Amino acid sequence: MFYSIIQQSMARYWLILLVSFSLLTEHAAQAQSKLNGVDINLLPMYGGARKPKRLQLADELFLATTDRNEPNRAVAAKHFVKRGMDYFRAGDYATAMKRFNQAWLLDSTNADTYWGFGILRGSQGDYNESITLLSNSLKRQPDNQNLTADLAGTLLQRYDAFRANADLERSLALFELYVSRENNASGNESRIPVYAALAMGYFRKQDYERAWQWTDRARQLNPAAVDPTFLRQLRQAAPRQ
């Protein structure tokens, strides 16, 4: 047990060391890491750019340091994905993207890396790239419920932006798939935002009967679950007797 504690402490130490090292290499290479005026560290998979020699050497050093201090690159990639998600939740999108890129550099097969890229690009308003990345991730882990909801939500956002019916239909299908799986699981809290999203999706489709059905299901779990503005719009479009 004591040995296990020492191992965990050393793992945390090396993770801190690796993150500190990565910050140094990012700073040193920043002047040579632009693609169309954008820092490639802030683009998924470094924007697919061919890196200058200085950045390639920095990558090699980063990977070699990781190899010496982690069981394998797949394990190290998971650490960096987690760091990226932490930064994303804190609203630090630039650092989140850097951590996801490092995770991708370590293990390009890690499905959660593409999930991280996708939610970041969606938050930045690039719905096309976001959907491509989230779809890539979902192919690798098709049973991931939270990812399914993220992709469905992003499709609904793109529908609002460009009014492509295919996006609305796919969004509704994914949300319905989420619900069908959750019906076999315990707990209701995770369903509430999905029920509300289905209500808004069917409202956009002008299927007011289903919009009301999902609104009712959401409000049964939490009376404040549905946005008051949406509820007012639904009542105006399809008044109840």
Neighbour-count burial of 133, counting CB atoms closer than 10 A to its CB (0-12 exposed, 13-18 middle, 19+ buried): buried
Neighbour-count burial of 31, counting CB atoms closer than 10 A to its CB (0-12 exposed, 13-18 middle, 19+ buried): exposed
Identify whether 42 is part of a domain: yes
Considering its fold, how many domains does the chain have in total? 1
**pLDDT tens for the 241 residues of the chain, in order:** 323 323 343 444 444 445 545 554 554 444 457 777 789 999 999 999 888 888 899 999 999 999 999 999 999 999 999 999 999 999 999 999 999 999 999 999 999 999 999 999 999 999 999 999 999 999 999 999 999 999 999 999 999 999 999 999 999 999 999 999 987 665 678 899 999 999 999 999 999 999 999 999 999 999 999 999 999 999 999 998 6
Identify whether 186 is part of a domain: no
Identify whether 150 is part of a domain: no
Identify whether 192 is part of a domain: no
Q: Is the dihedral of CA 41, 46, 52, 56 positive or negative?
A: positive
| Domain range enclosing 83 | 1-108
Identify whether 218 is part of a domain: no
DSSP H or E run through 38: strand 38-39
% helix, strand, coil for the chain, step of 5: 80, 0, 20
Identify whether 79 is part of a domain: yes
Identify whether 67 is part of a domain: yes
Identify whether 121 is part of a domain: no
Taken as a whole, the chain contains a residue count of 241
